Copies of this chain bind each other. A is one copy, B any other.
């Protein structure tokens, strides 16, 4: 067969979508564990649970509770009930999406589970924005979670072993972030954060095989997606108040800055990393920084959503980063592919000026 040439009407360049009617982030909420609560963003979280088990018997059940709490808090802030949602899009790190699946069970709405490792937050936001701008949904719940102890047990060793973590290791955030994304026609003219663009990422594998250095495994994917976004939109790093990666940590951030420099973009002044913001790295023993699906989800919901809503920030590029690290394929000698999804979020005034 021969397909005729045509171009999807919301595509910019090779890899970026520009939404015709940028979906509105009506609410966002973050629930965090006790250690995250003691970090620099502690007072910004909607809830800090006092106990890492959240009153449950297992780390996995605790993560389900964190995710449920975050979704219900986001819904509450938007004045909605779970039944008001058309769809839920959610991801986490547990095998078989153990947190999202069980949280989705109690929410009783049609559910899309995604796996993008720690990039699940922006992957979910991308799909939800497509659902709304495409006319398939009016309100979508988006969520992502992770839990330090559940992740360590699954990916490395149970924490009871007390193993030594190398300096390149990051610390999986215990927490969950959620947001309610709505059709812009639902909110009128208020100053709402809106998702204007999305740049889904490619799987990029530079041969990193060290499960304690996932920042280095993800940095090339982050740089690849940011480069694609800037190339497709014709923007430079300076067009953003902030470009924020998910969980590259200190080592990974430096690599991403260097890789972007090599292709002509100086992102150094505006590129920060959620993993470098969530903990006090001098006082809290987290080595390279925070990581996990909840890292970019909670930092975005607790801090940047508010900055955008209050007009303290005009335009940001959120780049959640994921390492497709599998203990099975690692033991078989395979390297670790990375992936990154970018979403551009703007306060309304900026979105109006937008020249597509």
A contact set with B: CB distance below 8 Å: 1-11, 15, 17, 20, 26-27, 57-58, 60-61, 77-80, 86-87, 91, 94-98, 101-102, 104-105, 108-117, 123, 126-127, 130-139, 154, 182-183, 185-188, 199-205, 324-329, 332, 334, 337, 339
A1-B79, A96-B324 as given contacts; A15 in contact with B110, CB under 8 Å: yes
Contact of A1 among B7, B27, B91 (CB under 8 A): B27
Measured between beta carbons, the chain B residues less than 8 angstroms from A117 are 96
Contact of A139 among B3, B96, B132, B202 (CB under 8 A): B3
Measured between beta carbons, the chain B residues less than 8 angstroms from A182 are 3
The residue in chain B whose Cβ has the minimal distance to the Cβ of A16 is B110
A6-B138, A115-B115, A131-B130 as given contacts; A86 in contact with B11, CB under 8 Å: yes
Measured between beta carbons, the chain B residues less than 8 angstroms from A2 are 79
Could you tell me the distance in whole angstroms from the C-beta of A310 to the nearest C-beta in chain B? Answer: 14
Whether the pair A97, B58 counts as a contact (CB closer than 8 A) is no
Whether the pair A324, B8 counts as a contact (CB closer than 8 A) is no
Copies in the complex: 2
User: In the bound complex, what is the Cα–Cα distance between A127 and B17 (angstroms)?
Assistant: 15
A96-B115, A134-B135 as given contacts; A203 in contact with B9, CB under 8 Å: no
Q: Chain B CB within 10 Å — which of A5, A87, A329 has the most?
A: A329
The residue in chain B whose Cβ has the minimal distance to the Cβ of A106 is B203
User: In the bound complex, what is the Cα–Cα distance between A304 and B183 (angstroms)?
Assistant: 36
Contact of A132 among B8, B183, B329 (CB under 8 A): B8
A8-B183, A135-B20, A326-B94 as given contacts; A334 in contact with B102, CB under 8 Å: yes
Contact of A326 among B86, B96, B108, B324 (CB under 8 A): B96
In the A-B complex, the 3 residue pairs with the smallest Cβ-Cβ separation, listed nearest first, are A134-B134, A101-B324, A110-B200
Measured between beta carbons, the chain B residues less than 8 angstroms from A201 are 110-111
Whether the pair A95, B95 counts as a contact (CB closer than 8 A) is yes
Measured between beta carbons, the chain B residues less than 8 angstroms from A91 are 115
Whether the pair B203, A101 counts as a contact (CB closer than 8 A) is yes
Contact of A105 among B17, B57, B205 (CB under 8 A): B205
A20-B135, A132-B8 as given contacts; A114 in contact with B113, CB under 8 Å: yes
